[in-house]
């Protein structure tokens, strides 16, 4: 069985930590905004993240797409509704947009993370 090296595992752990932070912030904003429909989006994103960690290429690109759409929608909402949103929702949304962008860029650009994904794919085919 192929095992990823330490730098690849650290990259995976960094991605998981960023994702957990994103989920915690997302849940806090959902509770603050009292938007119960967003729980389904959060659950979908968690399921996709599970498949990302398993090394599925389609899930990686789907999560990058979800993060990109999240960035665009959060910035649009803040710009359009800034006068109607509380300061906490505005700041939280902007922090979440930055974190989503960081996750998407990290998933695409990290060589260690891509090496982890390659090892997971090779291990699943054996």
Range 33-57 average pLDDT: 91
List phi, psi (to 5°) of 110. -75, 115
Question: Global pTM?
Answer: 0.89
Domain of residue 116 covers 6-125
Determine the Cα–Cα distance for residues 68 and 105; give it in Å rounded to an integer. 10
Highest mean pLDDT among 2-16, 80-94, 98-112: 98-112
Within a domain: residue 120?
Answer: yes
82-98, pLDDT tens digit by residue?
888 889 889 999 999 99
| 1 lies in some domain | no
Q: 48 lies in a domain?
A: yes
CA 13/CA 4 separation, integer angstroms: 12
Phi first, then psi, for residue 90 (nearest 5°) are -65, -50
Asked if the structure places residue 52 within a domain, the reply is yes
Is the pLDDT confidence value at 1 over 70?
A: no
Assigned domain for 59 exists: yes
Query: Residue 77 and residue 74: Cα distance in Å, rounded?
Result: 5
Question: How many domains would you assign to the chain?
Answer: 1
Asked if residue 41 is part of any domain, the answer here is yes
Half-sphere exposure of residue 77: CA atoms within 13 angstroms, side-chain side: 17
DSSP letter for 1, please.
-
Asked if residue 86 lies in contact with residue 32, where contact means CB atoms within 8 angstroms, the answer is yes
- Contact (CB, 8 A) for 2 and 122: yes
């Amino acid at each position: 069985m192929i095992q990823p090296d330490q730098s690849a595992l650290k990259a995976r752990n960094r991605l998981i930590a960023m994702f957990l932070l994103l989920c915690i912030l997302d849940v806090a904003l959902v509770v603050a905004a009292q938007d119960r429909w967003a729980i389904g989006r959060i659950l979908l994103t968690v399921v996709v993240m599970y498949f990302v960690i398993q090394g599925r290429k389609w899930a990686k690109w789907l999560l990058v797409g979800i993060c990109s759409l999240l960035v665009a929608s959060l910035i649009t909402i803040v710009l359009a509704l800034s006068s109607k949103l509380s300061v906490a929702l505005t700041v939280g949304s902007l922090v979440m947009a930055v974190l989503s962008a960081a996750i998407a860029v990290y998933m695409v650009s990290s060589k260690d993370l891509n090496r982890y994904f390659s090892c997971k794919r090779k291990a699943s085919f054996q």
